[in-house]
């Protein structure tokens, strides 16, 4: 069921024309900043992949991929990507990228099962990136280093857009607070995972929650993750499991936390086998992608996705993601937004 958060006394800082110009400024500037921080080169990416290769991202494992038959290939089915988590790693190998360097691309997807609201759309656009790493870098210290580089690019972009449009004021904190999902559970044992995210983000402003996908001490996951891209079971030097996480910020306009990026160190052979067994997905070992990983033909890597429309939303102080992207919305939501001065593109 679609739900709409109605912010009190909302008024857009920019009109439609200014918004469109600002969206382009943010996307161009942030991509350049991210590419410089992480040493990424831009590559061309697919909108769809063949079903049955194990190349599509399963997200939480319950979302249905949009698919269609290919007439000229004996009705073989293609799937619109959910994200490019696995495709990027395969591409790192194909391009023979050296450690310390990586790739970035514009990922566009259709997620037909999304519950539409201020932050969730049928259309997903994000910067998908992936970088080759060494075995010595597979640790929490390196993960935090990469998160801080990404956040630096976000802060730099915020400064640029505030300079360009004085009606937009700086609000992001200077630093990211790091916390493991188990520590978060111990801090707020009576709250749901979403309520915990709101509580910690309200306190610190920008937070990276680590170790997402594995079961915590209460027997539940903070959130679900597919077993074959992020490493959420390997132990780390802080005494917890998980080499991945989500970057969130506190967003005063909607009075809630917002996830900007999901990322992590990718599974090696041992983590893949362990996580496939934990989730009962061991049949995937026979798929094209998984075979190449188990045969050692894919490099160790770290990667993730950063929401383009979401980043534009927070930096332009918008109330609805439909103000920074073009999608389909329920008619009652469009009507409500129009009455509230929320101009959906």
Catalytic residues: 57, 111, 126, 246, 259, 262
Distance between CA atoms of 104 and 304, rounded to whole angstroms? 10
CA dist 245 to 89, 141, 181, 195, 213, Å? 18, 13, 9, 17, 9
């Amino acid at each position: 069921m679609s739900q709409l958060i109605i912010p009190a006394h909302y008024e857009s800082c920019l009109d439609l024309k200014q918004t469109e110009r600002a969206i382009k400024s943010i996307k161009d500037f942030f991509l350049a900043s991210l590419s410089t921080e992480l040493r990424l080169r831009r590559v061309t990416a697919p909108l769809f992949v063949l079903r049955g290769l194990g190349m599509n991202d399963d997200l939480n494992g319950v979302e249905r991929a949009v698919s269609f038959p290919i007439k000229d290939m004996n009705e073989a089915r293609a799937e619109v990507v959910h994200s490019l988590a696995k495709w990027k790693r395969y591409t790192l190998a194909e391009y023979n990228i050296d450690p310390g360097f990586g790739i970035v691309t514009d990922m566009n997807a259709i997620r037909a099962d999304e519950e539409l609201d201020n932050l969730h759309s049928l259309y997903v656009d994000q910067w998908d990136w992936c970088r080759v790493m060494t075995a010595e870098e597979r640790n929490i210290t390196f993960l935090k280093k990469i998160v801080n580089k990404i956040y630096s690019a976000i802060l730099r972009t915020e400064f640029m857009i505030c300079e360009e449009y004085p009606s937009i004021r700086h609000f992001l904190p200077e630093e990211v607070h790091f916390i493991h999902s188990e520590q978060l559970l111990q801090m707020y044992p009576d709250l749901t995972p979403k309520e915990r995210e709101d509580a910690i983000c309200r306190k610190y402003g920008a937070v990276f929650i680590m170790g997402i996908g594995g079961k915590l001490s209460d027997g539940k996951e903070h959130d679900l993750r597919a077993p074959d891209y992020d490493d959420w079971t390997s132990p780390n030097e802080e005494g917890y499991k998980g080499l991945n996480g989500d970057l969130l910020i506190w967003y005063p306009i909607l009075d809630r936390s917002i996830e900007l990026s999901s990322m992590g160190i990718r599974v090696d052979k041992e983590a893949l086998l362990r996580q496939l067994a934990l989730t009962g997905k061991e049949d995937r070992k026979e798929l094209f992608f998984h075979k190449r990983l188990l045969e050692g033909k894919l490099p160790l890597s770290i990667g993730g996705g950063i929401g383009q429309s979401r980043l534009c939303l927070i930096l332009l102080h918008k109330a609805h993601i439909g103000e920074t992207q073009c999608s389909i919305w329920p008619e009652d939501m469009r009507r409500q937004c129009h009455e509230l001065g929320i101009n959906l593109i």
